[in-house]
Amino acid sequence: MGRSLMPLNPGWIELIYGCVKSGKSRALIDKINSIKNAIDEEKFEKEFLVVKHPLDDKETQGKISSFDGKNIDAIECETAKDLVEHVTKHTKFIFLSGVHLFDRDIVPLLKALVDINVIIVTTGINLTAKGEPYNYMPQIMTITDVYDIRAGECFTSGCGENAYRSIKVNDHFEPRCMKCYYKTEKTPDLVVVTGPMFSQKTLELIAKTKEKERKLELNPVKNEDGFMNKDISAIFKWSEDKRYDLEKIVSHDGNSINAIPIESNSQVINYLKINKQVGFVGFDEIQFFKDPYPLIKELLERGYPIYITCLKEDFRGEGFGDVPKILTLANIIISKEAYCTRCQKQPATKTQRFIIKNGIKTPANYNDPVILVGGKESYTSVCRSCHWVPEKSENKYDNILKLKQIN
């Protein structure tokens, strides 16, 4: 039985994230103040909820504070259960400081809030001082719609470059740039291009690679032996992705570049050991690769600039493989949108898989295999409201929030 069309869904999640002392709280405070100054106080108190986790700057209780001295009043909530108690049927906006400190239930709660059209702007630290994903940030970054990464200033003496990592020094934390953090000769960067199918992600990688190749042709650089260009590109693809060409990555509109098909991480490492002139590494559809997270970490530690395209969610709307963890490593995330082929009114951020039954397109079941390489014959792009997966478990916060909408 089909699902009736739901109302258009204007809810979304904006994540302001980055290392310590990167101005995340200041950015959130500025957003809140700009809205407070534009509407009357009664409307703000009724429709807007300003919340912080109590461990997010413990020195200032009941306030969101920035390291440069700005602050604003906030309700303190330690768990998702605490937060939902403050949501009413009038709540339209939630400003949330310190999302990285919440329990695992914050993820389904944020999903449920967006489904009832609440707009959420939140701050969080994506990585610990050891360079690992912070708590449930991989899952939070997977359901984020708008990414706003903030750079600090590297505290390394004489550096001052943009910082995207944090380290612990004695009893406090300091920001570090990518080069100082990884202690590499060159500056490692990670750009992740994500979005649903048919949102031109591969085209971004193709354009970036061709741009670098043109620059090398115009400004050839010799290596120590004086023969070969440094910084040539190596683009890798999953060997089982044979939709258009085994040794090329091809966009849905026919653009292509050469690529190296691989089956394992060791093939990438071995290729780069042999081809030392490679200075730019790209991966197309990295969600298909086996255990790519440790590979990306190792390449960053070796100083490579990396460019990745991926689906962050599978057809079920769940995090796709290692992609959620890879998102926490990125210092640039480009979020692409397609066109919703169902309602034809909203941008598409989801991938819908379908099967053909008796000549009719039917959404694939939640329990169907996650990986099925295909194109328009098996997939389409849809908005959040039109995305439907039969047999998917109900979000436990859906009914709680629906009751709040009634009462």
> Cα torsion for 339, 341, 346, 347, to the nearest 10°?
-30
Mean pLDDT of 252-279: 91
Mean pLDDT of 48-65: 94
Local structure of 216: helix, strand or coil: helix
Domains and CATH numbers, the chain: 12-150 (3.40.50.300), 190-382 (3.40.50.300)
Lowest mean pLDDT segment, chosen from 11-25, 74-88, 239-253: 239-253
> In terms of pLDDT, which residue wins out, 262 or 222?
262
- The C-alpha angle 270, 272, 276, rounded to 5 degrees, equals 130
Mean pLDDT of 243-271: 86
Which DSSP category does 264 fall into?
A: S
The pLDDT assigned to 201 comes to 93
Lowest mean pLDDT segment, chosen from 113-117, 145-149, 191-195, 373-377: 373-377
How far apart are alpha carbons 121 and 143 in whole angstroms? 13
CB 272 within 8 Å of CB 303: no
Which DSSP category does 101 fall into?
A: G
Q: Mean pLDDT highest for which of 230-234, 247-251, 355-359, 363-367?
A: 363-367
The pLDDT assigned to 349 comes to 95
The region, left, alpha or beta by phi > 0 then psi within -120 to 50, assigned to residue 368 is beta
Answer yes or no: is pLDDT of 7 > 50.
no
Answer yes or no: is pLDDT of 4 > 50.
no
% of residues, the chain, pLDDT over 90: 77
CB atoms within 10 A of CB 389: 20
Q: Is 240 a catalytic residue?
A: no
Sheet strands side by side (includes 162-169): 152-153, 162-169, 172-177
Structure tokens given for 63: 């306030």
Q: Cα 85 from chain centroid?
A: 28
Q: For the chain, percent helix, then strand, then coil, each to nearest 5? A: 25, 30, 45
Mean pLDDT of 217-242: 70
> In terms of pLDDT, which residue wins out, 33 or 377?
33
Q: Which band of pLDDT confidence, cut at 50, 70 and 90, is reported for residue 406?
A: low
What is the residue-averaged pLDDT of the chain?
91
Q: Which band of pLDDT confidence, cut at 50, 70 and 90, is reported for residue 156?
A: very high
Residue with tokens 């101005």: 23
Answer yes or no: is pLDDT of 252 > 80.
no
The pLDDT assigned to 309 comes to 96
> In terms of pLDDT, which residue wins out, 227 or 329?
329
Of 41, 204, 224, 285, the active-site residue reads 285
Structure tokens given for 116: 């009832």
pTM over the 0.95 mark: no
The pLDDT assigned to 58 comes to 85
Local structure of 51: helix, strand or coil: strand
% of residues, the chain, pLDDT over 70: 93
Answer yes or no: is pLDDT of 158 > 90.
yes
Mean pLDDT of 50-54: 98
Lowest mean pLDDT segment, chosen from 27-41, 123-137, 150-164, 240-254: 240-254
Mean pLDDT of 64-86: 95
Interval 387-404: pLDDT, tens: 999 999 999 999 899 887
CB 29 within 8 Å of CB 52: no
The pLDDT assigned to 212 comes to 82
